[in-house]
Structure 1
Amino acid sequence: MVKMKRNVPIIIRKLNILLKRLPFNQPKRKEVDEYLARQMAGLRGEQSMDYFYRYLPQEKIEFLHNIRILHQEYYFQMDTLIITPNFILILEIKNIAGHIYFDNLYSQVIRLHDGKKESFDDPIQQVERQAFHLSEILKIKKVPFIPIETLVVITNPKTLVESAPGHTDAVNRVIKSADLKKKFDLLTKKHTKVILSKMEIKKVNRLLNKLHTPYNPDVCSLFHIDKNELIKGAFCPDCEDIILHRTKRSWYCTNCDQHFKKAHINALIDYALLISTKITNNEFKDFLNLPTGSISYHLLHSLNLPITGTTKDRTYLLNSLLDE
């Protein structure tokens, strides 16, 4: 089993909620949808690698996924990091369909797919930069010098991969998923000196996790969307796109004729992810389309959320809802 659980990135969670609360005629909706599709394709590519990780020596190595670290005023992110006793391996994972061509003359990848030709940044250089920053971080943290190897992994088995004549970097460092074990074994034969003990590997793992900062942008700002445009209210958990009505003691869906007692909690989670992790009684009343402040106060108060401020300017903190 792979030793570190891969969580769904919070950016994907936020984008799904943003699409749910964007009006269908909002001009940015298509852009958000396409961005989410790219994020999901990347995640599926990374998840597909779990099958091939099984063939690596699990008892000797540690895996880290989507580690993002600040260095020289910018963040660098590694899809998968494999720490072994002899070397560290960074995998840049690409779930790309079609026919791709690695062009070293202009440091680009050219893709032909569905009759469309387009250019991408060279992932070989991308992962080389990651290796540079990682080596600098390890040096700063006084980790014993250990070789860092890099690979670009194409996860779509139907993708046709070609490279320019003489492009040795592409030949040596671009692989399909199924070739990971073979390449790993070659790297193990290349690096025979043991640098890190089992305890030191775990120490490096903890260090990098401690330095990790997830990519967690304000998605409304990212797409220049006014937060006042977001659809307000509590959504039906079953119908998904239906706004519920508040009855005396619950939320009612006119579409499926069901009552829900805690639908406002999901709405608060949406608010925390899209707008703010702090909310006042009036803001809650407005976002849930509640008729009176007393109803909003009762619902908020019943959640036992941490609060700041006095009774008059009380603010409820929503972070705890995101951990549930």
Structure 2
Amino acid sequence: MIIKKREMPLSLKKLEALERRLPKKRPTVEVLARQMAGFKGELAIDFSLSFLPSEHYWFIHHKRKPLPIEALVVMANERTIVRHASAASASFSEKIIPCGRIPKYIINIEQTYIKAHYSERELESLSELLLKQHQELDNDILKQFQIDRSEIISGVQCQVCSRYAMEWDRRRWQCPYCRFRMLNAHAKALEDYSLLFSPTLSNRDARKFLHLTSPNYTKHILQRCSKSFIGKTREKKYLLR
């Protein structure tokens, strides 16, 4: 049973936002490619795990309980070739498998451990506790790559030609280059702001980032896109995530 579905990590979302809004290519491209490849590999493993009977297995990551641990290296790419540098490393070959063999490997392990360490009720309680206390790593992506805030491209990106910045015209966002028009194009821009700068912003911050002049319309956008707000009047800040 999958207690918590795998989602794209916040760190990967931040890398994607950074790539969209940097004027020049940086080393972040390589980091993004590696992390994206890793995430796709995890999804491939999830697919293999889906062949196991869901009512018999519980998948809980990052546990800290005194349970037997089986070490295993899983290759998401079925075409990966592993070469052993010595006889010592070759002895670990049975612990290196392609993801397609995961179900069979787990079933074999089940035959080794007969004693149940937890009841189903205890597993449910443990799962609820882990979900409740889960906190995703929320690092400062600009500080991590030593990028100044002024280097980030502001404005609403066109979803057709990918250029900046769309302009608000007659109740729609319009690209000055390809003339594409869209109503809610600001949503992605606000998401990028929350990933790169802060999960909260003021009306003034939003106007500057979205290239808007009307405080009233900006307020309308923020009320629709935010989850809640803190403060009052000029000190009010909207929570984006």
| TM-score with structure 1 setting the length | 0.66
30-39 or 305-314, larger mean C-alpha shift: 305-314
Specify the alignment match of 1:217 in structure 2: 139
1:182 matched residue in structure 2: 104
Query: How big is the shift at 1:302?
Result: 4.7
Q: Could you tell me which of 231, 256, 272 is aligned with 2:194?
A: 272
SS of the aligned residue for 2:238 comes to: strand
Identity level (%) = 32
Does structure 2 conserve the Cα–Cα contact (< 8 Å) formed by 1:12 and 1:39?
Answer: yes
Where in structure 1 do 4 or more consecutive aligned residues deviate above 6 Å? none
* Shift, 1:206, TM fit: 2.3
- Is 1:60–1:198's contact at 8 Å kept on the other side of the alignment? no
How far off is 1:5 after superposition? 1.9
**Relative to 1, partners in 2 of residues 1:253 and 1:193: Cα closer, same or farther, differing over 3 Å?**
same
Q: Is the 8 A contact 2:21 2:152 kept in 1?
A: yes
* Residue in structure 2 matched with residue 90 of structure 1 by the alignment: none
Higher share in helix: 2
Residue 234 of structure 1: CA displacement?
0.9
What corresponds to 2:15 in structure 1?
Answer: 15
Distance 2:230 2:134 in 1: 29
Gaps of 5+ in 2: none
Contact 2:174 2:180 (C-alpha < 8 Å) held by counterparts: yes
Aligned to 1:40: 36
Q: Contact 2:48–2:100 at 8 Å: present in 1 too?
A: yes
What is the CA–CA distance in structure 1 between the aligned matches of 2:80 and 2:191, rounded to whole Å?
39
* Higher relative strand content: 1
Q: C-alpha separation between the residues in 1 aligned to 2:128 and 2:96?
A: 29
Distance, in Å, in 2 between the alignment partners of 1:161 and 1:43 is: 21
Whole-Å separation in 1 of the counterparts to 2:209 and 2:58: 44
Q: Is the 8 A contact 2:155 2:164 kept in 1?
A: no
SS of equivalent to 1:246: strand
Shift of 1:37: 0.5
Alignment of 1:244 with 2:166, yes or no, is yes
Letter in 1 for 2:177: N
Match of 1:299 among 195, 206, 218: 218
Report the aligned-residue RMSD.
Answer: 2.3
Specify the alignment match of 1:58 in structure 2.
Answer: 54
Structure 1 residue ranges without an equivalent (≥5): 68-77, 79-133, 139-144, 320-324
Instruction: Give aligned pairs, total.
Output: 237
Letter in 2 for 1:12: L
